[in-house]
């Protein structure tokens, strides 16, 4: 059942919803015995993206995202492209580090077309909660990921809801668990939303409509974490292969990655480093994995 809450009732219900927090935690503890991803070797993928502007009139520009991460679970081996007489350049966003390939064409090009091929490697990623991470992290980077952005503010209703959710907690891990459980209990996936959603969390909280897709639900999680003082960020990409655990909705089709875009989130926990979190995928399985919601 879906309940739309007013802003006032939503804020009041923030703490009450936590009464259910123990239920997901217990289920997660039981599922952990069966779902325990660990790094087990690199897999290599060639990802090809082709864009053609069939109705280009006058000068035109094509922007394409390029894999930007290089860490213990993803790395880029090669990036190359072919195009038809465009002016192509690679740039990097100074704030987020995201890489963008920009191809500009003049009016004489009848069908602007570019094909981008990226060779990447990935491997499974998991957190050993019994071990401690000694990987150094730049304090400036952590400060960056508690700051607000245009669609993820950390003041006003976002801070108010976050403070009610984490009331009584002592550690960042306890706060993150509270927020994660609250988002799963309070939000739901709306398959009719276009793309991955917008991620305007102030509008979501003020309206009481906590529905959406991955960019909405995970942005809500990120914003509430930031408002609680936990470094958090969005990670955008595509699902490349079917789910290793059999979830139809959580995998990609290697033959065609149309519709495979996904946004998830990461939080930084002292002693564990950056930890992948994805409450939006939990809501996706709840809504779409079986015929009944």
Per-residue pLDDT of the chain (293 residues; tens, 9 = 90+): 333 333 334 333 433 333 333 334 434 444 444 556 677 899 999 999 999 999 888 999 999 999 999 998 999 999 999 999 779 999 999 888 899 999 999 998 989 999 999 999 999 888 888 888 777 889 999 999 999 999 999 999 999 999 999 999 999 999 999 999 999 999 999 999 999 999 999 999 999 999 999 999 999 999 999 999 999 999 999 999 998 888 889 999 999 998 899 999 999 999 999 999 999 999 999 999 988 88
pLDDT at 292: 84
pTM of the model: 0.85
The number of angstroms, rounded, from the C-alpha of 84 to the middle of its chain's C-alpha atoms is 34
pLDDT at 20: 35
Decide if 7-37+132-288 and 43-122 have a common fold.
no
CA 110, CA 261: separation in Å to the nearest integer?
29
pLDDT at 34: 56
pLDDT at 82: 94
List, in sequence order, the alpha helices (H) in the chain: 7-16, 22-31, 139-144, 156-165, 172-186, 201-207, 214-227, 279-288
Assign a CATH topology to domain 7-37+132-288. C8orf32 fold (3.10.620)
Domain boundaries, the chain: 7-37+132-288, 43-122
Assign a CATH topology to domain 43-122. Immunoglobulin-like (2.60.40)
Residue by residue, DSSP assigns 153-214 as --SHHHHHHHHHHTTT--SHHHHHHHHHHHHHHH-EE-TTSSTT----HHHHHHHT--EE-H
pLDDT at 9: 40
């Amino acid at each position: 059942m879906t309940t739309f809450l007013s802003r006032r009732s939503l804020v009041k219900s923030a703490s009450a919803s936590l009464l259910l927090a123990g239920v997901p935690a217990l289920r997660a503890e039981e599922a952990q015995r069966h779902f325990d991803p660990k790094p087990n070797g690199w897999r290599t993928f060639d990802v090809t993206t082709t864009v053609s502007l069939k109705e280009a009139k006058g000068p035109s520009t094509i922007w394409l995202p390029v894999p930007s991460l290089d860490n213990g679970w993803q790395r880029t081996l090669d990036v190359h492209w072919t195009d038809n007489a465009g002016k192509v350049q690679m740039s990097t966003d100074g704030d987020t580090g995201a890489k963008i390939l920009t191809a500009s064409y003049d009016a004489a090009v009848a069908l602007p077309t570019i094909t981008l091929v990226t060779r990447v490697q990935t491997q499974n990623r998991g957190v050993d909660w019994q071990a401690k991470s000694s990987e150094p992290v730049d304090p400036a980077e952590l400060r960056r990921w508690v700051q607000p952005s245009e669609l993820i503010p950390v003041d006003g209703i976002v801070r108010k809801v976050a403070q009610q959710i984490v009331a009584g907690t002592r550690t960042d891990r306890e706060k993150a668990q509270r927020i994660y459980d609250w988002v799963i209990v309070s939000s739901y996936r709306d398959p009719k939303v276009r793309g991955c959603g917008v991620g305007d969390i102030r509008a979501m909280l003020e309206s009481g409509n906590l529905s959406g897709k991955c960019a909405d639900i995970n942005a809500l999680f990120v914003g509430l974490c930031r408002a609680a003082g936990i470094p958090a960020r969005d990670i955008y990409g595509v699902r490349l292969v079917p789910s290793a655990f059999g979830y139809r909705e959580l995998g990609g089709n290697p033959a065609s990655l149309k519709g495979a875009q996904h946004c998830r989130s990461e939080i930084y926990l002292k002693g564990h480093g950056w930890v992948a979190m994805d409450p939006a995928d939990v809501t996706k399985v709840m809504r779409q994995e079986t015929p009944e919601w």
